[in-house]
Amino acid sequence: MNSERRIVEKEIHRFALNDKLMVNCQWLMVMPGYPNANFANDANGRK
pLDDT of res. 9: 92
What does the pLDDT look like over 7-21, one tens digit per residue? 999 998 888 888 887
Question: Residue 19: which domain range?
Answer: 2-46
Neighbours of 8 (CB within 10 A): 10
Structurally, how many domains does the chain consist of? 1
**Residue 10: C-alpha distances to residues 2, 5, 20, 22, 31 (Å):** 12, 9, 15, 18, 32
In degrees and rounded to multiples of 5, residue 34 shows phi and psi of: -85, 130
Residue 18 has what pLDDT? 80
Mean pLDDT of 21-44: 64
Q: What is the pTM of this model?
A: 0.38
